[in-house]
Homo-oligomer: A and B are copies of this chain.
Amino acid sequence: MDPHRSFDLAPWSVGWSAWTDEAQARRESVFALSNGHLGWRGTLDEGDPCAVPGTYLNGVFEVHPMPYAEDGYGYPDSGQSVINVPDGSIIRLLVDDEPFDIRTGRLERHEQILDFRTGTLRREVEWTAPSGRSLHLVSERLVSLTHRAVAAVQYEVTALGGPIAVTALSDIVANEPLPEVHPDERVQGPLRHPLEAVDRFATDRGATLLHRTKGSGIGVAVSMTHDLGDGDATVVVETSEDLARTTIGAHLAKGESLRFTKIVGHEWSASLTDAALRDRVEAAVAAGGELGWNGLLAEQEAYLTAFWSIADVRIEGAPRLQQAARFALFQVLQSAARLEGRSIPGKGLTGPGYQGHIFWDADSFVVPVLSHVAPDAAREALRWRHATLDDARARAEHLHLGGAAFAWRTIDGKEASGYWPASTAAFHINADVAAALVAHVRVTGDTHLEREIGVELLVETARLWMALGRWDLDGGFHIDGVTGPDEYTAIVDDNAFTNLMAQQNLRGAADAARRHPDRARAFAVDDAEVESWQGAADAVVIPFDARRGVHQQSAGFTEHARWDFEGTEPGQYPLQAHFPYFDLYRKQVVKQADLVLALQFAHECFTPEQTARAFAYYEQLTVRDSSLSASAQAVIAAWVGHLDLAMDYLTEAATIDLDDLRDDIDDGLHIAALGGVWTALIRGFGGMREDADGLSFTPRLAAPMTGLAFGIRVDGDILRVEVSADATLYSLEGEVPLTIRHFGREVVLQPGDPVRLTTPPLADPGPAPTQPRGRAPREILRSGPVE
């Protein structure tokens, strides 16, 4: 069986029928449940077989020394790595003293289904033990979107062929092994058994384990209880340092079932006392227990119904794409729903990839989507950035810069990257955070947030740009020696993306300071400083190659030698694994959208002709060795009228995880790429742009998509957009009229009064851009609907 076969097609779920040994880690990632605070990978109840066990609490990590062959000033001494918190998902089963293990006996049926509307992972198994006893197992688990600390499992085992004695061992297991992250024992050692047992408590139906990480000193409490209903099962509770076990036994006649609910609570804190942690986690379990499985499930469904009522993107004519788009949105929601003071790691809470670190892609690819589909979550991610400002100011000071410099990769806010050309030098992260904040305030109308955290964040990042910038003899403002989004180019002058984002940052700071003069004064901003930001923003230089008539990704970029794409074999991608940075950096080869991302993020700075020309130019150079590229390419391809190409990029973004296109989701999903699916659909095909003149749309479809419908937030109101082949219907839900532009034409929308506007004919976009040999997107959906 092909381990890369697709998941079962369905509009509101992804499922996998029949067991395959291959690619289990991939399914664990896809089937991961999370609420942004707590994550459980899609492992089997009985714990084995397992590829990558994973139970995470957002913010729980261990520290480790950072090894350098040659140390340098400003290199972080200490790294951070996500760890597994004690795993409460495990329910092992004995059948007449034979362990239930799908690798033994005969597996008649095995299904797992992740349901986007119930927010549950449902599993159904029929199994005959080597001894011949048969059972039917149905389990369903959820990580609650309404009770952030709570996960629950509904577990039911039924005797099929004849009577069986069943014993369920429902565990919390601490210090599960994780995949090794580094060959250096100094790094790996502290991560192998990171949790020290602090205390343990048994109750009549469960237990609580208290642990503390050895290096980072984080307290972790995991507690469980079991609801056995009114059956006559026997229950025994035991605890040891790294194990709490509730043993539930029952004798089942043929057709009889043992059924129980396991409620697991999770808490962590770096500052709370052990007693407080215990109280909190046991209170969470009690609250979950009070609701019971049905109550938790009902709340889960209600939460998701509300979410989908605005966030859903309906796609006609492309069922696989429809499924992928909902999967993407569901996982983006899961990564963030209950962040409360945290942000979104690159892999969410679906696996240990990137050591659980948070990067710029949270701010640039996820938060802007959340601002529309789950604004409370976006707000929390922005609050987390703001909460790291002290670390960011300290980092800036350590680098002898002004303002604040956010960590490139981190869990707790402190820099944890060991390769500065692709981290410290990538200062654009600071403008990315600022842009996410400005966009969020615009989308949600949350001026309270702007006052509370926005002014300070914009002021400090603006100050960083002033410290980083350089004036030329002609009054131009430059930013030298930085790294843009494209990780195959580094330490360059005037990266266009960075400069344009810095410009937005400076203007955003000036605007915010003028809107909230009292807050600005609180951060010692005076008029002269605001003027200096405005002046620098107006003077920002964007490199342009007049001879070739195209914008430069960075100064001199288009002069450099072109990568030898013809001489590069398919097996030599990703290039970074087969070529030295030295050679990648000095040639024209683009890992991921950079200038093209600038075309999206700073669209008002490029004419349509410049956009088309730049897109065509950089398409020839972009190899998409990063999952962050396809969505931006989809957006710009759609804008310049290459709709088939846009569809291919959209499809790639949408299937990158579901079809594991990059063969790299064993350690978690690409949350930012999944966020990019919404962006490709709404900004790309919907043509949604915001600029000084307000909101505008240029909606167009591409085969096989015959319809596209979505909702967005505008200043707290909801605008629904339904695109068909020849027209678009705009419906405003809210109180006040809204002016938009449809293909440049200004239209005033009245609440409750939908307007249907026709789509103008598509101007000939010219020949389709070409990509490097072998790096064109797959034409998965272009030829027509799948299935």
Contact = CB atoms under 8 A, between A and B. Distances in A.
A528 interface: no
Contacts of A582: 74, 399, 420, 424-425, 481, 491
Contacts of A1: none
A108 interface: no
Interface string A393-428: 000000111000000000000000111110011000
Contacts of A425: 582
A353 to B, nearest CB: 14
B68 A556 contact: no
Interface stretch (A365-373, A572-580, A614-622): A572-580
A561 interface: yes
A745 interface: no
A425 to B, nearest CB: 5
Nearest to A577: B73
Nearest to A75: B69
A28 interface: no
A491 B493 contact: no
A83 interface: no
B556 A493 contact: yes
Contacts of A75: 69
A482 B425 CA distance: 18
Contacts of A491: 421, 490-491, 582, 585-586
B580 A70 contact: no
Interface string A461-479: 0000000001011000010
Given A400-B579, A424-B580, A470-B561, A417 B70 contact: yes
A184 interface: yes
A186 interface: yes
Contacts of A604: none
B480 A561 contact: yes
A67 interface: yes
A73 B578 contact: yes
Given A473-B547, A480-B560, A481-B586, A69 B419 contact: yes
A79 interface: yes
Given A186-B184, A559-B472, A580 B73 contact: yes
A178 interface: no
Interface string A633-662: 000000000000000000000000000000
A149 to B, nearest CB: 34
Contacts of A587: 480-481
Interface string A544-581: 00010000000110011100000000000000111111
A582 B399 CA distance: 9
A70 B582 CA distance: 15
Interface in A182-210: 184-186
Contacts of A561: 470, 480
A581 B420 contact: yes
A540 to B, nearest CB: 15
B470 A581 contact: no
Nearest to A493: B556
Nearest to A419: B70
A692 B417 CA distance: 51
A66 interface: yes
Interface string A56-89: 0000000001111110111100010000000000
A583 interface: yes
Instruction: Report, as a range, how many residues of chain A touch the other chain.
Output: 35 or more
Contacts of A185: 185-186
A580 B68 contact: no
Given A185-B186, A480-B561, A70 B418 contact: yes
A552 to B, nearest CB: 13
Given A185-B186, A186-B184, A581-B420, A493 B586 contact: yes
Contacts of A482: 586
A560 B472 CA distance: 8
Nearest to A77: B183
A399 B584 CA distance: 11
Interface in A331-379: none
B73 A579 contact: yes
A579 B559 CA distance: 31
Contacts of A583: 399-401, 481
Contacts of A186: 67, 184-186
Contacts of A72: 419, 576, 580-581
A414 to B, nearest CB: 14
Contacts of A184: 65, 67, 184, 186
A70 to B, nearest CB: 4
A425 B478 CA distance: 25
Contacts of A547: 473
A586 B421 CA distance: 12
Nearest to A578: B73
Query: By CB atoms of chain B within 10 A, which of A66, A481, A559 has the most?
Result: A481
Interface in A466-523: 470, 472-473, 478, 480-482, 490-491, 493
A493, A579, A581, most chain B CB atoms within 10 A: A581
Contacts of A79: 69
Nearest to A564: B400
B70 A67 contact: no
A198 B470 CA distance: 63
Nearest to A472: B559
B70 A69 contact: no
Contacts of A70: 417-419
A216 B576 CA distance: 30
Contacts of A418: 68-70
Contacts of A473: 547
Nearest to A399: B580
Interface of A: 65-70, 72-75, 79, 184-186, 399-401, 417-421, 424-425, 470, 472-473, 478, 480-482, 490-491, 493, 547, 555-556, 559-561, 576-583, 585-587
Given A420-B580, A481-B582, 19 more contacts: A67-B69, A68-B68, A69-B79, A70-B417, A70-B418, A72-B580, A72-B581, A73-B581, A74-B581, A184-B184, A400-B580, A421-B491, A478-B559, A480-B587, A481-B560, A482-B586, A491-B586, A493-B586, A555-B556
18 contacts: A67-B69, A69-B75, A69-B417, A70-B418, A73-B577, A73-B578, A73-B580, A73-B581, A74-B579, A400-B580, A420-B580, A421-B491, A424-B580, A425-B582, A470-B560, A473-B547, A481-B583, A481-B586
